[in-house]
Amino acid sequence: MTLDLANETLPLLGIAAWSGTGKTTLLEALLPRLAERGVRVAVIKHAHHGFDVDQPGKDSHRLRAAGAAPMLVASKARFALMMETPDRTEADLAMLIDQVRPLHPDLVLIEGFKAWPVPKLELFRPVLEKPLLADSDGWVQVVASDDALTLPEGVEILDLNDLDALTDYIAAWPQQWTQRRQPRGTGGRQ
Higher pLDDT, 36 or 116: 36
Kindly state the average pLDDT of the residues 17-44. Answer: 95
CA distances from 71 to 33, 81, 84 (A): 33, 6, 9
**pLDDT for residue 188 is more than 50:** no
CB 13 within 8 A of CB 120: yes
pLDDT band at 135 (very low <50, low <70, confident <90, very high): very high
Q: Please report the pLDDT score of residue 78 as a whole number.
A: 83
Cis peptide before 126 (omega within 30 of 0): no
Kindly state the average pLDDT of the residues 1-26. Answer: 90
Q: Please report the pLDDT score of residue 49 as a whole number.
A: 63
Q: Would you put residue 66 in left (φ > 0), alpha (ψ -120 to 50) or beta?
A: alpha
Q: State the average pLDDT for the chain.
A: 89
Helices 23-36, 163-180: crossing angle, 10 deg rounding:
80
Q: Please report the pLDDT score of residue 29 as a whole number.
A: 96
Which residues neighbour 97 within 8 Å (Cβ) at sequence distance 6 or greater?
3, 10, 12, 44, 108
Percent of the chain having pLDDT more than 70?
94
Report the C-alpha gap between 70 and 88 in whole angstroms.
Answer: 15
Kindly state the average pLDDT of the residues 122-141. Answer: 96
**pLDDT for residue 82 is more than 60:** yes
Q: Please report the pLDDT score of residue 52 as a whole number.
A: 63
Computed on alpha carbons and rounded to an integer, the radius of gyration of the chain in Å comes to: 18
**22 exposure class (CB count in 10 Å sphere: 0-12, 13-18, 19+):** middle
Per-residue pLDDT tens for 34-71?
999 999 999 998 876 666 677 788 888 888 888 887 88
Report the C-alpha gap between 25 and 29 in whole angstroms.
Answer: 6
pLDDT band at 5 (very low <50, low <70, confident <90, very high): confident
